[in-house]
């Protein structure tokens, strides 16, 4: 059933404005991909282009062997065999849950259809809700109905547009896990649009970060976090700051932040380097000699997020257990623990 999705140099234009610029990406069959980026970056437009709601200005999209979009042709949405889950679910208010889930099922007899509907509802743990109407369900339940409806016809590709954004945070995280399980069980290739990296990381096998219409990086969540391709990705993904550092001839960084590899040294030079420092790169260490001044802190229950000042005044973050209780203005003993150094060319 599942097919790989391939985008080659896809561009989408609205009048003079190019919303999506030369995007290429590949998503393997049965994998879950995510288009991640700030609002207005073009990720939803790209999703709609894959769905067939937007024509391409350039490039092509294919699903398995089938080319479904290029500037000359646009296979109508209804012939693409893609399922879609909308931001506001877009359930049909005039149809019961069974009517919604069964909407896309055609060419089935009654018994087959009913069986499929109950199988889908079981998949999303909503057994027995067939005769209810959408407005009678909670938000999380509606979202699962939307998923069941999209999956029911057995699509080759499932598209999800900010599928959790209208739910509250707790529900969102719980659902993201559940949805991933459902998708994996259904073995469907799926692509979701999100601006929430938590959601993206929980759900996806592969994340494509989009910035201003272009692909910034496509990678696994882990690689994105630890090996961001550029400053944008580094700052957009996870927390942390890029500080300006200098290295000596051996590659040793100031403040004892770490040592560059010879390659890094030859690639980036010695002075005015951009170094990515994540909160988990700086650890609380009661006996450490390195003591940084606390600029501010935020209590988060299980931990504290501290904003610390390096000796030269640059700010970095540090995540500590919640029993480490140091007021602003005082000093916090820390230890730098940068497993590998992520460097960028100096700015300007």
Residues lying near another protein in the complex (CB under 8 A) are found at 51-53, 76-79, 81-84, 86-88, 90-95, 103-104, 106, 133-136, 149-150, 153, 159, 166
The number of helices, as runs of H, and strands, as runs of E, in the chain is 9, 19
Minimum distance of another protein from residue 85's CB (angstroms): 9
Of 31 and 80, which CB lies nearer to another protein in the complex structure? 80
Of 160 and 203, which CB lies nearer to another protein in the complex structure? 160
Of 81 and 208, which CB lies nearer to another protein in the complex structure? 81
**Are the beta carbons of 5 and 34 closer than 8 angstroms?**
no
Tell me the C-alpha to C-alpha distance, in Å, between residue 15 and each of 23, 43, 54, 61, 188: 18, 18, 13, 21, 35
- The first and second tokens of residue 14, run together, are 């609205």
Of 8 and 77, which CB lies nearer to another protein in the complex structure? 77
Non-local (6+) Cβ contacts of 109 within 8 A are: none
**Are the beta carbons of 276 and 201 closer than 8 angstroms?**
no
**Are the beta carbons of 145 and 132 closer than 8 angstroms?**
no
Minimum distance of another protein from residue 114's CB (angstroms): 17
* Nearest to 186, CA basis, from 29, 26, 64: 29
Minimum distance of another protein from residue 76's CB (angstroms): 7
* Nearest to 57, CA basis, from 22, 90, 89: 22
Minimum distance of another protein from residue 246's CB (angstroms): 48
Minimum distance of another protein from residue 157's CB (angstroms): 10
Of 74 and 229, which CB lies nearer to another protein in the complex structure? 74
Of 103 and 344, which CB lies nearer to another protein in the complex structure? 103
**Are the beta carbons of 242 and 320 closer than 8 angstroms?**
no
Minimum distance of another protein from residue 25's CB (angstroms): 20
Alpha-carbon gap, residue 340 to 136, rounded angstroms: 52
**Four-point Cα dihedral 6, 10, 224, 161, nearest 10:** -80
Of 41 and 158, which CB lies nearer to another protein in the complex structure? 158
Non-local (6+) Cβ contacts of 68 within 8 A are: 52, 61, 62, 75, 80
Minimum distance of another protein from residue 162's CB (angstroms): 10
Please state the φ and ψ torsions of residue 137, each to the nearest 5 degrees.
-105, 160
Alpha-carbon gap, residue 271 to 260, rounded angstroms: 12
Minimum distance of another protein from residue 323's CB (angstroms): 41
Of 58 and 90, which CB lies nearer to another protein in the complex structure? 90
Of 134 and 279, which CB lies nearer to another protein in the complex structure? 134
Minimum distance of another protein from residue 163's CB (angstroms): 12
Alpha-carbon gap, residue 290 to 145, rounded angstroms: 54
Give 22-28's long-range contacts (Cβ < 8 A, gap of 24+). 22/58, 22/59, 22/214, 23/59, 23/210, 23/213, 23/214, 23/215, 24/59, 24/215, 25/208, 25/215, 25/218, 27/189, 27/191, 27/206, 28/4, 28/189
Minimum distance of another protein from residue 134's CB (angstroms): 7
Of 152 and 316, which CB lies nearer to another protein in the complex structure? 152
């Amino acid at each position: 059933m599942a097919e790989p999705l391939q985008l080659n140099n896809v561009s989408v234009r609205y009048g003079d404005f190019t919303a999506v610029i030369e995007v290429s990406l590949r998503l393997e069959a049965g994998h879950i991909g995510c288009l991640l980026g700030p609002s207005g970056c073009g990720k939803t437009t790209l999703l709609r282009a894959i769905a067939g709601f937007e024509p391409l200005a350039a490039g092509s999209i294919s699903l398995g062997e089938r080319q479904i979009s290029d500037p000359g042709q646009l296979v109508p949405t209804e012939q693409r065999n893609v399922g879609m889950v909308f931001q506001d679910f877009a359930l049909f208010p005039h149809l019961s849950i069974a009517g919604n889930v069964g909407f896309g099922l055609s060419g089935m007899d009654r018994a087959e259809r009913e069986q499929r509907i109950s199988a889908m509802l079981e998949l999303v743990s909503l057994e027995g809700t067939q005769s209810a109407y959408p407005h009678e369900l909670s938000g999380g339940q509606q979202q699962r109905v939307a998923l069941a409806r999209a999956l029911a016809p057995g699509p080759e590709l499932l598209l999800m547009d900010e599928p959790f954004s209208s739910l509250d945070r707790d529900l969102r995280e719980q659902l993201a896990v559940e949805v991933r399980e459902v998708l994996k069980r259904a073995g469907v290739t799926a692509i979701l649009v999100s601006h929430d990296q938590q959601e993206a990381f929980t759900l996806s096998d592969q994340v494509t970060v989009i910035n201003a219409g272009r692909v910034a990086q496509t990678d696994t969540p882990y690689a994105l976090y630890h090996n961001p391709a550029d400053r944008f990705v580094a700052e957009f993904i996870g927390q942390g700051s890029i500080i300006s550092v200098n290295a000596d001839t051996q590659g040793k960084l100031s403040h004892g932040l770490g040592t560059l590899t010879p390659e890094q040294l030859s690639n980036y030079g010695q002075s005015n380097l951009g170094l990515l420092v994540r909160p988990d790169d700086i650890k609380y260490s009661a006996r450490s000699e390195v003591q940084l001044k606390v600029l501010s802190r935020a209590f988060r229950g299980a931990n504290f997020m501290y904003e610390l000042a390096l000796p030269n005044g640059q700010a970095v973050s540090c995540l500590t257990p919640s029993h480490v209780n140091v007021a602003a203005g005082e000093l916090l003993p820390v230890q730098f623990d940068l497993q590998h150094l992520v460097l960028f060319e100096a700015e300007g």
